[in-house]
Amino acid sequence: MLIKVIAVAVFIGSIFGANYMISNVGTVCVPDGPCLIPVGFGIEAPSGILAIGIAFTARDAVQRLLGVRWAIGAVVVGAGLSAGIAPTLAMALVRLSCCPRRWISPYTLRYNVGI
């Protein structure tokens, strides 16, 4: 039971952390856009990518331990916490995660949308 609680908490925290980083942490912050960090070879990426690896791992753990509905619930909670610092990102996250009747595969989102 404890591992399930930890998995959900880490997933929610990583969602909030990624959204916070995109809005506040980086070497360059684009006005009304993401903060960027250098990733090598002159390429910059949104700083939230540093927390995404944790989010993917925690999401997979939540889905395996508790199911897809718990994972979606955690996304909604994480987006709600993020709404104060990045309302646009929070709404996009909920919209992508809560697709009634037609579930979007997590792999589709991961590789095509970047979440």
**Stretch 59-63: mean pLDDT:** 91
The domain spans of the chain are: 2-113
What is the tens place of the pLDDT at every residue in 63-101? 999 998 999 899 889 888 888 877 766 666 655 555 444
The predicted pLDDT at position 114 comes to: 46
The more confidently predicted of residues 30 and 107 is: 30
Average pLDDT of the residues of the chain:
80
In whole angstroms, what is the distance from residue 7 CA to residue 86 CA?
A: 23
In whole angstroms, what is the distance from residue 88 CA to residue 79 CA?
A: 10
What's the whole-model pTM score? 0.74
The token pair at 11 is 């997933």
**Stretch 12-31: mean pLDDT:** 89
